[in-house]
Structures are given as C-alpha cells and as structure tokens.
Amino acid sequence: MGRAQLDVRLETPKSSYLQYAAIPITVKIKNLGAQAAVLNQLAGEPWLEMIVQSGDGLVIRQDRPFVPPTLTISPGRVQSLPLDLSPYFLVRETGGYQVRASVRLPSGETLLTEALPFLVGRGEVVWSVPRGEGKDRRVYSLLKFYEDPDMGLYLRVEIPEKNLVYPVRRLGPFLPLGQPSAEFDSENHLHLLYAVASGQHRVTVVNPDGNILREENRRETGEKPRLRKSPDGLVDVEGGMVILPSSLREKLSTLQARAGILPAPH
C-alpha cells in the first residue's frame, strides 16, 4: 500500500484542558485507495504511535504503552479511533503542547500527521476539604475551568503524602452564581450539588477515588434544591423537580400512551 492511500488527521474537541484531566484525541483515517486497508501490528510493533511535545519542542516521555486495535478500513471509508492522552503521557505541567500521530503502513512506510496544538491550564479552586488522617489523608477539591465560551466544573482527588493525584473528573457545565454544596455520607461517598444553568442544578455522587456513582439534574420549583444529611449519615436532596433524561422521558411517554394516560408521541 502506498503512502497516498491513507489520509490521517487528528482532532480534539477543545483547545485547552485542565491539568490532570482527560485530553481526548480522535485519530481519523480515510482510505483513499481501491482496496481495504488493514492496520495491525508489524513485527510486534503497534501500527499507531502518538508523539507529544511541549511548547519548547521537548518530547514528552510515554508513561505506559498504548496498543491500538486492529482496524480494517474499506475503500472510501473513514475510521475514527478515540483515545485519551493523559493515561499514557506525563502531560502534567501547564503550558502549550502539540501531538502528532505516526502510522506504520502495511508497506513498511511511516505516515506522520500534522501537529495538533493544545493547552494545559490550571483551574480555580472553589471548594476544598481534607478527609482522613495520616498517609491516606485525601484532599477533595472542586475547580472551575474556563472552556470558551463556557465554564466547566471538575473534581480532583489527591493523596498528598503519597504524591498521588487521581484523574481529574469533569462534572459538567458550571454556572458560578454561588458556591457548590458538598456532603459526605456514612459510606464516605461525596454528594455534590451545583448550578449548571439558570434555574437548573446537578447532583453528583462520587466514591472516595472520585469515580462518578450517580448523577441527576433538578429544576428549581418553589425553592432551590439543597443537600440534607440525616443523623445516621444518609444524604438526600430536598427541593426542585428531577429532570428525566430525554430517552427515559420518551420511554415513559410511550408507556403512558399505551395505558391511555396521554396520546402517543409523534
């Protein structure tokens, strides 16, 4: 297969990302040839490698191997391969970076893409609290980060004594009209309540490592939603009306229509 038979490009949804958060990249490959293109390991080497450089040209060391799946691309078709750079590369410092993809073709040739620039920045801490003691003491922080043209809210969990920072989680859009509310329940799960839009709030529950366990959106009614912690350590939400996901609303409407409660949706 010749070099000109594949067109490879990189895309990313945003131009800047929060420090320690995910850095999503999509590798788009179009087969310009007349035969199917099969991309797989060659002599034990992966067919795809990502090359990340800092703004001053320093190549960022790869922290763990990335093994891309085998791809078969039909003539004229485009295959997209999404990946997150953050688990594989030590992109920890703030500043400008660029990434390229190096594709090994079945012919043995190597195809190098154009550089895709991106920025890594610091967010602003809007809430932070330590939890526990000793070497396992964790610090939970909420950070707001400007994402042109909106603001995002992120959760960072770290264990300072072990120099460990868990992957920063994006919780969603953030409307900074007030401070987020936070409560820990009896199982040490963190319950968060914050504004995502005018009159709309989101409830997010995470485990001690920051992994999301549950999410729901609430619309203000007569009063704003608020977190309430009972004496036995249970955390609940009072106020507001739960906004069902659109897929669940459609399913519920269909069931109600079959029961004769309301007309079937068109």
Q: What is the pLDDT of residue 44?
A: 83
Residue 263 domain-assigned?
no
Residues 130 and 226 in one domain: yes
Q: What is the pLDDT of residues 195-221, one digit of tens each?
A: 999 999 999 999 999 999 999 999 998
Q: Are residues 79 and 156 in the same domain?
A: no
Q: Is residue 26 part of a domain?
A: yes
Contact at 8 Å (CB) between 139 and 160? yes
Q: Are residues 104 and 144 in the same domain?
A: no
Residue 73 domain boundaries:
3-121
Which of 100, 121, 142 corresponds to the end of one domain?
A: 121
Q: Do residues 205 and 140 share a domain?
A: yes
pLDDT digits (tens, 9 = 90+) for 113-151: 999 999 999 999 999 999 999 999 999 999 999 988 889
DSSP per residue, 21-53: B--EEEEEEEE-SSS-EEE--BTTB-SEEEEEE
**Per the domain annotation, does 137 fall within a domain?**
yes
Domain count, the chain: 2
Does 7 share its domain with 102? yes
In 10 A of CB 149, how many CB atoms?
5
Q: Within this chain, do residues 142 and 65 fall inside the same structural domain, yes or no?
A: no
Q: What is the pLDDT of residues 121-130, one digit of tens each?
A: 999 999 999 9
Residue 256 lies in a domain: no
For residues 9 and 108, membership in a common domain is answered with yes
Same domain, 145 and 233: yes
Residues 41 and 30 in one domain: yes
Residue 205 contacts residue 212 (beta carbons within 8 Å): yes
State percent of the chain over pLDDT 70. Answer: 91
Q: Are residues 231 and 138 in the same domain?
A: yes
Instruction: Please provide the size of the chain in residues.
Output: 266
- Let me know whether 47 and 109 are in one domain: yes
CATH number for the domain that contains residue 73: 2.60.40.2970
> Which backbone phi and psi does 187 adopt, to 5 degrees?
-95, 10
In a domain, 261, yes or no: no
Beta bridge partners of 136: none
